[in-house]
Amino acid sequence: MRTRRSTRLGFQPPAIGEEEIEAVAETMRSGWLTSGPRAALLEERLGPYLEAKHVLAVSSGTAALHLALVALGVGPGDEVVTSPITWPATANVIEHCGATPVFCDVRESDLTIDPDLVPALVGERTKAILPVDLAGQPADLDALLALGPPVVEDAAHALEARYRGRKVGSIADVTCFSLYATKNLAAGEGGLLATSRDDTADAVRAMRLTRRAGGGLYDQVVPGFKANLPDVLAAIALVQLDKLAVHGEIRARQFALWDEGVADLEGITPLARDPRDEHAHHLYVVRVDPGRAGATRDEYVAALEEELVATSVHFLPVHTLTWFRSRYPEQPALRVAERAGREVLSLPVSPAHADVDVLDAVDALRRVHARFTG
C-alpha cells in the first residue's frame, strides 16, 4: 500500500490546458466579448451531439432550468415535482417562478427520483416534473414521461449519458446542462438547454437576452432576462468539447479504479449504475453506512482530509435546508433521501488527476477504513 500523500489532492479540479488559454486570448483579440460567433458555433456543434433539434447556450445551468420552466408557463399556484437529492438551484428556480416544489423521495439504488412514488404527487396543479440525473446516472425518464406533465431534466451531471440507448438531451421535453467549473464540459460558468420543441426554443431564445432587435429603435415583446453565454466562455467550452471523449475515458478509468478499490470495503457502497444506460461518470459517490463502516460519513471526510484527500457531498436533501424547511413546515419526512444525505460521500475524480493520484486516494480510503473497522 502507498504512503500518505505529501500534497493535497483536489476533489474535482478542472482540466484546463494551453489550448483553452489560447482560445480565450484569441476571442479577446477578436473583440467579441459577449455572445457572438463562438456561442453560436457551440450550439451548432452540440445539436447533433445531443441529438436535439435546438440547443441554446445560456449563462448557467440554473438559468437553463429557470428559462425552461418559464417557457413551459410555470407560474404562481403551479407545482413542480422534483428530487430532494440535488443542488438547491433545481428547487430555487421553481420558487423563482412563484410555483411550489413538491419533493418526491428517491430510489435507494441510485438516489434518482423514485418513479413509483411520483404518480401520487402528480395532480391538477402539476405543471412539470423535474428529475435529476444524479452523478451521471439518468433518472427513469420513460416512467416519468408516461405520467403526462412535461419533463424538464436536470442533466447538469449527465452531458455524455445515454438512457436505454437514447442520448440524454433528446428524450425529455427540455434537458438542461451546466458548464460550471467542475462539470464534464467546464467553461467556468455557463449552461445549455436542449429541446426538440419549437415553442419552447422560441420562448427561451426571446427571453435569454434583452437586446435591440427588429425595426425602429428597439422593442420589447416579452420581459427578457440576461442569461446569454459570452463568447469568452463559449471559446473555453469549444476546446473542452474537443477533449470531451478523451476526458470521458479518463474519468471512466478512474471510476473503475474506485470500483475495484471499494469492492471489499464493508459498509462503503457506490451508487448503482444501470447497465442498460451509459453513465456520464461525473461523480463517484459512495454511501458510508456507519454501522458497518465503523464511522460516520463526516468522520470519513475528516480522516481523508488528514490524508490530504479532498472529498465532497452530493447532496444534502434540499427540503431540509433552512429556506425550504421554514417555507414548507408541513413537508413530510423523505426517509430514503434523508438517510442518504447523511451517508453520501463523493471521492476525487478528474481528468486533471493522474491515475496514480486516484490510486493514492483509494489507498487513503482503505487505510482510513481499516482504522475505523479494526
Ligand X SMILES: Cc1ncc(COP(=O)(O)O)c(C=O)c1O
Q: Which one, 68 or 203, has the nearer CB to ligand X?
A: 68
Residue 263 is which amino acid?
A: A
CB of 284 to ligand X, least distance (A): 15
CB of 61 to ligand X, least distance (A): 3
Residue 147 · residue 129 · CB < 8 Å: yes
CB of 330 to ligand X, least distance (A): 25
CB of 188 to ligand X, least distance (A): 10
Q: Point out the residue whose Cβ comes nearest to ligand X.
A: 61
Q: Of 53, 127, 183, 226, which residue is the catalytic one?
A: 183
Q: Give yes or no: 183 in active site.
A: yes
Q: Which one, 235 or 303, has the nearer CB to ligand X?
A: 235
Q: Which one, 184 or 368, has the nearer CB to ligand X?
A: 184
Residues that bind ligand X (CB under 6 A): 60-62, 86-87, 89-90, 132, 154, 156-157, 178, 180, 191
Q: Which one, 157 or 279, has the nearer CB to ligand X?
A: 157
Active site residues: 183
